[in-house]
């Protein structure tokens, strides 16, 4: 038997491999394994607008159809419209929800790459009669006889249904209180008490009887409402409070109070905490609080170093609302006047 020289066998194998490599294996396609768009659309904000439609804002164009959404309480979807290059989706229910009532919408949208985001979002029934009002007095340093509270001054007739009062960041509140339905008239005072005594004498005054409620600082000259949970509190000398048309709606009024300066610390621009710094920045960006410079500073807040349980932070009675520190002053000792006009003189150190 004739043997094949080893060098000849090696050459044959090399030629065969070269032939296979050149003519049989598929050619690699450049970019075949590069990832595409894998991120789902991001929900930026949502709110109910006039007529009861829900407006959803996304960070990229999306596709949506009526069958992608469902309301609770049950309502059919009347129409779905996209705007702003399909970044805004407006969902109109078939029929209205009761003003101020807690509702939700479940839905899903997809981007051009097929990435889908699903969500369930809370909202409140559209209130067509939101009154004009302002924050008028704040009790931020509680005692055994005076608890944390805010006072609203009503400037026009309307209904409180679904309005939200809170403290902290708009995007992440320390607390947020959705107000119940109650008719109000221009000139009314509404006292929002943040702490219950546990005695059972407090009652929400939703009708005509303004002497219905007992409790600390309840007055028959004001409509007294009581926050039912345990997390209601206002920061003592450094904080923000705000009033919105709904829990996700526009800011109707706000106040920032502070005893600090820009030199108080270096880590948080003098604010003391990132939470307060960011809360003030959000109010400023929302057009709800005026500042003196190009960025918020502690000095932009209403001066609050002297507040106590009887020296509240009050709005000047006869000044036009400027959405800034000049609207507010600390009342003289024993000048607290929840449910009454702000008549006390300013505290003098």
Per-residue pLDDT tens digits of the chain, which is 349 residues long: 445 455 444 454 455 444 444 445 556 555 555 667 789 999 999 999 998 999 999 999 999 999 999 999 999 999 999 999 999 999 999 999 999 999 999 999 999 999 999 999 999 999 999 999 999 999 999 999 999 999 999 999 999 999 999 999 999 999 999 999 999 999 999 999 999 988 899 999 999 999 999 999 999 999 999 999 999 999 999 999 999 999 999 999 999 999 999 999 999 999 999 999 999 999 999 999 999 999 999 999 999 999 999 999 999 998 999 999 999 999 999 999 999 999 999 999 9
Q: Is residue 312 part of a domain?
A: yes
Residue at a domain's end among 95, 124, 153: 124
For residues 101 and 144, membership in a common domain is answered with no
For residues 170 and 274, membership in a common domain is answered with yes
For residues 92 and 179, membership in a common domain is answered with no
Supply φ then ψ for residue 149, to 5 degrees.
-160, 160
User: How far apart (Å, rounded) are the C-alpha atoms in residues 62 and 314?
Assistant: 47
Q: Is residue 29 part of a domain?
A: no
Q: Is residue 140 part of a domain?
A: yes
Looking at the DSSP assignment, which residues form a beta bridge with residue 110?
63, 116
Q: Is the peptide bond before 135 cis (omega within 30 degrees of 0)?
A: no
For residues 237 and 299, membership in a common domain is answered with yes
pTM given for the model: 0.86
For residues 195 and 218, membership in a common domain is answered with yes
Q: Is residue 16 part of a domain?
A: no
For residues 52 and 91, membership in a common domain is answered with yes
Looking at the DSSP assignment, which residues form a beta bridge with residue 102?
124
For residues 220 and 309, membership in a common domain is answered with yes
The backbone region for 168, taken as left when phi is positive above 0, alpha when psi lies in -120 to 50, beta otherwise, is: left
Q: Is residue 114 part of a domain?
A: yes
User: How far apart (Å, rounded) are the C-alpha atoms in residues 87 and 82?
Assistant: 7
User: How far apart (Å, rounded) are the C-alpha atoms in residues 304 and 301?
Assistant: 8
Per-residue DSSP letter, 217 = T
Residue at a domain's end among 124, 157, 190: 124
For residues 68 and 106, membership in a common domain is answered with yes
Q: Is residue 32 part of a domain?
A: no
CATH number at residue 177: 2.60.40.1260
Nearest CA among 287, 315, 317 for reference residue 302: 315
**How far from chain centre, in Å, is Cα 180?**
18
Q: Is residue 242 part of a domain?
A: yes
Structure tokens at 115: 């990435």
For residues 243 and 283, membership in a common domain is answered with yes
Question: Is 236:141 a contact under the CB 8 Å cutoff?
Answer: yes
Looking at the DSSP assignment, which residues form a beta bridge with residue 79?
92
Residue 200's CB is within 10 A of a number of other CB atoms, namely 9
CATH number at residue 61: 2.60.40.1220
Residue at a domain's end among 96, 124, 152: 124
For residues 116 and 168, membership in a common domain is answered with no
For residues 150 and 259, membership in a common domain is answered with yes
Structural domain including 145 reads 133-330
Q: How does strand 183-184 pair with strand 223-226?
A: unpaired
How many independent structural domains does the chain possess?
2
User: How far apart (Å, rounded) are the C-alpha atoms in residues 75 and 327?
Assistant: 44
Q: Is residue 37 part of a domain?
A: no
Nearest CA among 309, 339, 335, 319 for reference residue 205: 339
For residues 207 and 251, membership in a common domain is answered with yes
Which residues 6+ apart lie within 8 Å of 263 measured at CB? Answer: 270
């Amino acid at each position: 038997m004739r043997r094949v020289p080893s060098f000849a066998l090696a050459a044959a194998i090399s030629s065969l491999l070269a032939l296979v490599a050149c003519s049989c294996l598929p050619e690699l396609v450049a970019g075949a394994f590069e990832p595409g768009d894998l991120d789902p659309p991001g929900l930026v904000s949502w709110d109910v607008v006039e007529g009861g439609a829900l407006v959803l804002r996304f960070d990229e164009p999306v596709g949506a159809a009526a069958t992608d959404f469902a309301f609770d309480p049950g309502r059919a979807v009347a129409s779905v419209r996209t705007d702003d290059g399909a970044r805004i989706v407006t969902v109109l229910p078939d029929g209205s929800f009761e003003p101020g009532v807690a509702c939700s919408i479940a839905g899903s949208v997809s981007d051009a790459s097929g990435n889908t985001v699903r969500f369930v979002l809370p909202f409140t029934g559209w209130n067509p009669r939101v009154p004009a009002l302002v924050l008028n007095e704040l009790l931020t340093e509680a005692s055994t006889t005076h608890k944390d509270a805010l006072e609203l001054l009503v400037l026009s007739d309307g209904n409180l249904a679904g309005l939200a009062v809170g403290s902290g960041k708009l995007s992440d509140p320390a607390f947020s209180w959705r107000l119940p339905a109650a008719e109000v008239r221009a000139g009314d005072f509404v006292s929002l008490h943040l702490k219950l005594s546990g005695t059972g004498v407090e009652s929400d005054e939703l009708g005509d009887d303004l002497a219905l409620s007992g409790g600390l600082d309840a007055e028959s000259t004001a409509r007294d409402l009581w926050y039912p949970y345990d997390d209601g509190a206002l920061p003592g000398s450094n904080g923000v409070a705000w009033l919105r048309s709904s829990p996700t709606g526009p800011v109707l009024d706000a106040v920032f109070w502070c005893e600090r300066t820009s030199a108080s610390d270096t880590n948080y621009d003098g604010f003391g905490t990132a939470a307060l710094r960011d809360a003030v920045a959000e109010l400023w960006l929302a057009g709800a609080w005026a500042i003196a410079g190009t960025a918020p500073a502690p000095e932009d807040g209403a001066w609050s170093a002297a507040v106590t349980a009887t020296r509240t932070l009050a709005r000047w009675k006869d000044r036009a609302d400027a959405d800034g520190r000049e609207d507010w002053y600390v009342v003289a000792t024993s000048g607290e006047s929840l449910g009454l006009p702000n008549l006390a003189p300013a505290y003098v150190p």
